[in-house]
Amino acid sequence: MASLLLLLLALSAPGTSLFSPGSGRLLPYDLLYADGVRAYFARDWPRAAELLQRALHSYSQLLEARRGCQSRCREESGFVGPPVAPSWETRFFDRVLQRAECLGECLGRRLGSEPSLHRASREIQEDFEQREPYNYLQVALFQLKKLDEAVSAAHTFFVANPQHLQMREDMEKYQRMAGVKLESFRDLQATPYWEAYKTGVQQYNVDEYLQAAVKLEESLEEVLLALEDCRALCEGPQEDGTEEEMHPGLYEAIAAHYTQVLKCRQHCVLEVATKPGQVSATDDFIPSHLDLLQFAYDQVGNQALAAECAASYLLFYPSDELMLEKMKRYWVELGEGASITARENIQQYVQRSLMEKKLIYYAVEHLGGTFNDPDPWTPDELIPGSLKQKHRENQKKQRLENLDVGEQEQRGPFTFEGITVTVDSHQLNGSQRVVFDRVLTDSECKDILRLAKAAGSTEDGYRGRQSPHTPHERFEGLTVLKALQLAQDGTVNWRDAKLLLHASEKSRKIVESYFTPGKRLHFSFTHLVCRTAVEGDQDDRMDLSHPVHADNCLLDPEGKECWREPPAYVYRDYSGILYLNDDFHGGDLFFTELDAVTITAQVHPKCGRLVAFNSGGENPHGVWAVTRGRRCAIALWYTLSPEHAEQERMEAEDLMRQGDMEQEPSHTDVEEHMRADHSGASPEPPMPKGRARSTSRRRTSGSESGQPQKLRARDEF
């Protein structure tokens, strides 16, 4: 993104402004953004904050104008009414021209300028979709001492980018600051239906069915409105870089663009069903509303509404035996004269979706291209015979990426010969704590330490800086994706980078086998971390290398509570630390009671030792000060929720596979190296491919996105 920003900065030099401030015209958000970023790098914090906020407002107003105009022009210039010419072709293009004229006039009036002036590049659009302006804004607001606003901006960015390393550190700093209110951690772009859906499901799970039905109805109504908004935005200008080849012919061009619009509309269901920061959508989001509502209404005795929801659900899954049995019961209970029909808005939704799918599949079959159907309920007979195999492969791939408990149990147990359970929960005076030894050999530890040293010698932002927790130590961190990227560039050894990936995967399987057999543990975050004592600055140290905390809740030592709520990483379920060395002083891990003072257990690091524990309030922990030398370990966090799986890791796995094909004739050397000193251990199965999501724009820390200047600005935070 750095080159893009430099271009925008050059185009928006001081003194250049598209419109005068008092003209009443909406300034293009990309130019405001460019001016705001330029002011940011110039450390002009008041101007940066103002321009970034105006850019966000302009972007919001632009989307609102597009949605409003699409709705108005669909009604005023729809494809209905008496023919205006004898030729169908003339009639069609007459309507097309009327719609285009209506949209141009409406947008021009609402924006106060030519709509073409508000067309930003795809890179800038992605910045706003991923909430990148809030990343800059939170720093500017902090520098202006507007702490509550800075926290809200930071939280808004973090919700959509939970794997952003630098923002993780910033959020931890905000949590430790005096005067920061809990209510300041709010999402400024929160979507209302998610809160209603969450509340409804919670009430449903505790058998409060009447209250649950109210919230689920509210959520379903908002979801359907959000779908319409998303679909309206699909009708904007055609973007470059689509998967279909752009043909020069009139009808080919129309078909290609219209097919793109249809695909965009179809994938709107994934957009509205994906929480900010998640990597996958909630399965069957609309049918699940109807299923929950059906049961809730049945439990409170409203069989009429329960039957209506059941009939609506059957539009998606007409052969669902359980729902068909319920429908039979509703017919009996309501009487023969009862009229049970599906909801009209759901009927329209399904009919429209099926018609669009039919057109898309026809286009793919006859004109080329691909289509990843977002819906598991698409009828098999709708899919052309030549595309059914590909469709089944896509559906199978999606199921593998979201394995449920039953599918996990079919995999069977995984054995780890040679690895010992050195200390269990009872010996560690707690619950769900364990220490494994011999997870890595001495040579494997040395290879990963070599990787850390080689990465530390680069100019990529990995270089040691002051620890976020203590001024007496330097802190270095490397993600698996960054390691593979450095290996691809030839900066570090390819085999060492792969070893980091495999060592962390091996640790995941051990923790999964020990704590959650039959349940899939996903990576939430993986981080190779080194802490180095600052020479000559260690006398009479009273601080810790890492203060006492819990990994998925906010520790309250005075109240002896741990609150599992944002901004804590509430989706984390288990944590692990795989140690690489012991040639340093201090740095032991210790567990405490909820008071953060009473120590219950202590673990000394050494090569190949893996400490694993539940991430909740039952395991507050900290790290003693490192007073001499360099302590390195692989920090690991896991989640049972596939929607919170670490996206960067999936990209790293894809990168590793590509590198294997390009650089190495054999893909087994690292696995063999991992098993060299663990004879008899079962071979590791190949890791599943990452989700089918574009990796051309990775969401990483500032140092990895080509913006070292921005990272340095936040380092002063």
Q: Is the pLDDT of residue 711 over 70?
A: no
Nearest to residue 269, comparing CAs of 257, 251, 286?
A: 286
Higher pLDDT, 708 or 335: 335
Mean pLDDT value across residues 107-134: 86
Look at residues 138, 142, 141 and name the one whose alpha carbon lies nearest to residue 161: 138
- The residues pairing with 433 across neighbouring beta strands, listed in sequence order, are 613
- The single-letter DSSP state of residue 437 is E
What gap in Å lies between CA 80 and CA 70, rounded to an integer?
Answer: 16
- pLDDT, tens only, 25-39: 889 999 999 999 999
SS3 at position 127? helix
Q: What average pLDDT does the segment 405-414 reach?
A: 35
pLDDT per residue as tens digits for the range 687-703? 322 222 232 322 233 33
pLDDT on residue 86? 52
- Could you tell me which residues come within 8 angstroms of residue 511 by beta carbon, excluding any fewer than 6 positions away? 521, 574, 576, 610, 612, 636, 638
Out of 72-76, 296-300, 556-560, least confident range: 72-76
| 703 Cβ neighbours under 8 A, 6+ residues apart | 166, 460, 461, 462, 711
Tell me the CA distances in angstroms from 70 to 26, 63, 64, 74, 266, one per residue in order: 18, 11, 10, 6, 17
20 — pLDDT class (breaks 50, 70, 90): very low
* Four-point Cα dihedral 583, 589, 590, 595, nearest 10: 130
631 has catalytic annotation: yes
pLDDT of the residue at 70 = 83
What average pLDDT score do residues 303-325 get?
94
**What is the distance between the alpha carbons of residues 307 and 579, in angstroms, rounded to a whole number?**
58
Q: Express each pLDDT in 264-287 by its tens digit.
A: 999 999 889 887 766 567 888 999
Residue 16: CB partners within 8 Å, gap ≥ 6?
none
Q: Let me know if 114 is exposed, middle or buried by CB neighbors in 10 A (0-12, 13-18, 19+).
A: exposed
Q: Which residue has the higher pLDDT, 11 or 201?
A: 201
Does the pTM surpass 0.75? The reply is no
Whether residue 350 is predicted with pLDDT greater than 90 in this model: the reply is yes
| Residue among 393, 390, 395 nearest 378 (CA) | 395
Q: Give the model's pLDDT for residue 39.
A: 92
Mean of the pLDDT values across residues 369-374? 88
Query: What's the pLDDT score for residue 398?
Result: 63
Q: Amino acid identity of 469?
A: H
Average pLDDT for 435-447:
93
pLDDT digits (tens, 9 = 90+) for 496-523: 999 999 999 999 999 988 888 768 899 9
pLDDT at 701: 32
Is 377 a residue whose pLDDT tops 70? yes
Confidence band for 574, pLDDT divided at 50, 70 and 90: very high
Does residue 713 have a pLDDT over 70?
Answer: no
pLDDT at residue 710 above 60?
A: no
Q: Which two tokens stand for residue 120?
A: 């930003």
Asked whether residue 557 carries a pLDDT value surpassing 50, the answer given is yes
Catalytic-labelled residue, pool 66, 631, 649, 699: 631
pLDDT score at 679: 38
pLDDT more than 70, % of the chain: 77
pLDDT at 191 > cutoff 70: yes
Q: What percent of the chain has pLDDT over 90?
A: 40
At 235 the pLDDT is 75
Residue 251: what pLDDT? Answer: 63
Query: How far is it, in rounded angstroms, from Cα 38 to Cα 54?
Result: 14
- Kindly list the distances between the CA atom of residue 147 and the CA atoms of 131, 177, 713, in Å, as whole numbers in the listed order: 19, 10, 17
Taking the CA atoms of the chain, what radius of gyration do you get in angstroms? 28
Q: Is the pLDDT of residue 11 over 80?
A: no
Over residues 561-574, the mean pLDDT reads 90
**Over residues 465-494, mean pLDDT:** 84
pLDDT at residue 529 is higher than 80: yes
Beta-carbon count within 10 A of 43 CB:
12
Say if residue 662's pLDDT is above 90: no
- Taking only the tens place, the pLDDT of each residue in 136-173 is 999 999 999 999 999 999 999 988 887 676 777 788 88
Q: pLDDT band for 466, please (50, 70, 90 cuts).
A: low
- Please, what is the average pLDDT of the chain? 79
- pLDDT score, position 242: 42
Question: Considering only 115-129, 290-304, 550-564, 594-608, which range has the smallest mean pLDDT?
Answer: 115-129
Least reliable range by pLDDT among 30-34, 201-205, 598-602, 632-636: 201-205
**Average pLDDT for 359-388:** 87
Q: Residue 291: pLDDT above 60?
A: yes
Dihedral sign of CA atoms 37, 39, 41, 44 in order: negative
pLDDT in tens, 386-398: 888 887 777 766 6
Q: How many CB atoms lie within 10 A of CB 42?
A: 12
Q: What's the rounded mean pLDDT across residues 478-500?
A: 91
Residue 87 has pLDDT above 90, yes or no: no
Which stretch of 69-83, 352-366, 593-607 has the lowest confidence by average pLDDT? 69-83
List, in sequence order, every beta strand (DSSP E) within 211-357: none
- Give the closest residue to 670 by CA, choosing from 501, 552, 520, 551: 501
Give the number of other CB atoms < 10 A from CB of residue 113: 17
Q: Is the pLDDT of residue 669 over 50?
A: no
| CA distances (Å), origin 448, targets 488, 496, 535, 589 | 16, 6, 24, 21
